[in-house]
Amino acid sequence: MAQGKTTHFGFQEVPIEEKSHKVAEVFHSVASHYDLMNDLMSLGIHRLWKRFVIELSGVRSGMRVLDLAGGTGDLAKTFSERVGNKGQVVLADINSSMLEKGRERLVNLGKVGNLNYVQANAEHLPFPADYFDRITIAFGLRNITQKEAALHSMYQALKPGGQLLVLEFSKPASWLTSAYDIYSFWILPRLGKLVAGDADSYRYLAESIRRHPDQETLSAMMRSAGFDYCDFYNLNHGIVALHRGYKY
């Protein structure tokens, strides 16, 4: 990776080789309060967004599923139930604190047998080519430094006929912008300070959403990575979008 290049970390410009370390610090900090903060930040609506991912994925018995940036395992939990004993679910996360929280939670729920846990960088996935039937990544793509490399790596790991589903914050309808900015930059950091004792990490999360590609741009990036029939669904007026692409 070339020295001297920069990338964004929220609204800051940082050396490209430092971003992954800074993102790691954020998620080490928020891991212990991650689920609670998700419920508070979205008023529980994140569960409906993830349910939409699950239903649209069409995951069924015997499939292999990779849940990238899987965090505390919301998606992996349901996928493990759907693929059954003949299937496999891999919960992968680059952050060791988040991965450990996910493993602990799912083991406590009795989800064992068809679940594996892998600490992995999405830009260089350590899996065979043409291996997974489905790959999902929920609220993780915006934190990846080289998004194009990650999308290409996901494409390589999918079987022909497989699908990638990307759930991510996106660009909301224009009439929502002012209220959304007040919530993101005023309320959210204060909520993070009150609940998690960490305003800066939640300020970064708000900033990272603004730097993430909008709906059309991300669809174009997915097509450039090789995906066909790319489409997206705006949820809650575009605050979140679910992108889908196929490998043929």
DSSP of 120-178, one letter per residue?
Answer: --GGG--S-TT-EEEEEEES-GGG-S-HHHHHHHHHHHEEEEEEEEEEEE----GGGHH
In this prediction, residue 218 carries a pLDDT of 98
Please check the confidence at residue 72 and state whether its pLDDT lies above 90: no
In this prediction, residue 1 carries a pLDDT of 42
Q: How far is 231 from 64, CA to CA, in rounded Å?
A: 22
What number is the average pLDDT over the span 51-77? Answer: 95
What number is the average pLDDT over the span 97-116? Answer: 89
Summarize pLDDT for 79-93 with one digit per residue, the tens: 999 999 999 999 999
Binding region for S-adenosyl-L-methionine: 72, 93, 121-122
CB neighbour list of residue 145: distance below 8 Å, 6 or more residues apart: 7, 16, 19, 20, 23, 123
Q: How far is 73 from 30, CA to CA, in rounded Å?
A: 15
Structure pTM? 0.90
For residues 98 and 31, the answer to whether their CB atoms sit within 8 Å is yes
Which residue ranges make up each domain of the chain? 19-174+203-246
Binding region: 72, 93, 121-122
Question: Among 26-40, 62-76, 203-217, which is the least confidently predicted range?
Answer: 26-40
E strand or H helix that includes residue 246:
strand 240-246
CB neighbour list of residue 233: distance below 8 Å, 6 or more residues apart: 52, 56, 241, 242, 244
For residues 94 and 118, the answer to whether their CB atoms sit within 8 Å is no
Q: How far is 188 from 205, CA to CA, in rounded Å?
A: 9
Q: How far is 52 from 239, CA to CA, in rounded Å?
A: 15
CB neighbour list of residue 25: distance below 8 Å, 6 or more residues apart: none
In this prediction, residue 4 carries a pLDDT of 63
Please check the confidence at residue 136 and state whether its pLDDT lies above 50: yes
φ/ψ (deg, to 5) at 242: -105, 115
**Dihedral sign (CA 206, 208, 213, 219):** negative
Question: Among 144-148, 190-194, 215-219, which is the least confidently predicted range?
Answer: 190-194
E strand or H helix that includes residue 224:
helix 215-224
Nearest alpha-carbon partner for 168 in 122, 133, 127, 130? 122
Report the CATH number of the 19-174+203-246 domain. 3.40.50.150
pLDDT-derived band at 14 (thresholds 50, 70, 90) equals low
In this prediction, residue 167 carries a pLDDT of 97
Q: Please, which residues bridge with residue 41 across strands?
A: none
Q: How far is 47 from 52, CA to CA, in rounded Å?
A: 9
More confident residue, 111 or 82: 82
What number is the average pLDDT over the span 198-218? Answer: 91
Arithmetic mean of pLDDT over the chain:
90
